[in-house]
Amino acid sequence: MIIAPAMRVLVSGGAGYIGSHMALVLAEAGYEITIVDNCSTGHRGAVDAVRLAVASASIVFEECSLDERDRIAALMTERRIEAVIHFAARASIAESCEHPLQYWSTNVGATVALLEAMQIATVQRLIFSSTCATYGVADGACTGIDESSPQHPINPYGASKVAAERAIRDFQHANHRGGGSFAAATLRYFNVVGSDPAGRIGEVHDPEHHLVPSCLLAALGRRSAIEIFGEDHPTSDGTCIRDYVDVSDVCAAHLAALHHLRDGSEITLNVGAGRGHSVREVVRACERVSQCEIPTRTAARREGDPAKLIANTREINRLLGWTPLRSLDDSIASAWRWLKANPAGYAEVKRES
């Protein structure tokens, strides 16, 4: 059956960067939304901003962790949840190499707890936020990495996401053997960038370790320089090459996947722009958009960093009719507008009484 636009959706990690943008898209489309986030890296202010942006939306926010399984299951039952979009995770390669157990606990353990809660509450639809880091050093130099590429992650972040994918797949297969109709879509993102084009919400991390917002902070004089981790990679200018996809396009992919899921279906899709930009190219693009010079300094390569990751997006285009609409400059421009207008992040967003 085709899922109706007015369905009730739980968004885990909905106070985070991508999760809050998804909540905004769902709210504008008329979905009833329940947001679950422990705010360890997310922001209550992001939820407040979504509520302010779509005052008519039905949005419930529960500040709790996914490992509170029974609490989550009760919330799903109370809210009559029909589908879950699962963003809650830790997502820094460098941090995962320093603190791997946090990544196994959050990205794997909490996903298992969420599946158990869904089983208790008989929720049958899941969209899982995964990552291109599951591929590791993939062979896709000419055509891009496709979904059949081997998954050989080279950092704990990627490894934890592979394990979470496997847990979901195993749960689904067991559900089907028992006569169930659990359906799951796994979306492997490449590098997500940009902000809501209307400037209502944006990207806020503390500390900030993503390239584009870090460059823009340097453009504003709030960082002395951008570190470029290695200039001896086997790429055209020696710096890492990544596929950058706009957050609004990523949300559109989730919405398309939600509409596509049928009873028992299982899909795994890359979500990327299908083209790569080196770190040096991204810095220059940020300078071009901001009209500011961005100082850089070279640092040693980071552990767990592949030289090149570019998506092959033929399958998501074929199956969902999805294609990215925004360029890298578009994404940087939206992030720049948000950052200039909200120098304190969400600190000044008014909360509902």
What amino acid positions are annotated as catalytic residues? 157
**Cβ atoms of residues 305 and 93 within 8 Å:** yes
Residue 6 phi/psi, 5-degree rounding, is: -95, 20
Nearest in space to 307 (alpha carbons), one of 130, 140, 91:
140
Residue with tokens 């590429």: 149
Q: Classify residue 338 by burial, with Cβ atoms within 10 Å: 0-12, 13-18, 19+.
A: buried
3-state class (DSSP) for residue 349: coil
Kindly state the helix (H) or strand (E) to which residue 23 belongs, with its residue range.
helix 17-28
- Closest of 9, 86, 12 to residue 42, by C-alpha: 12
SS3 category, 311: strand
CA distance 226 to 212: 10
Is 135 in contact with 152 (CB distance < 8 Å)? yes
- Report CA dihedral (163, 91, 51, 194) to the nearest 10 degrees: -120
Q: Are 146 and 270 in contact (CB under 8 A)?
A: yes
Cα separations (Å) of 27 from 11, 15, 61, 93, 206? 11, 14, 13, 31, 26
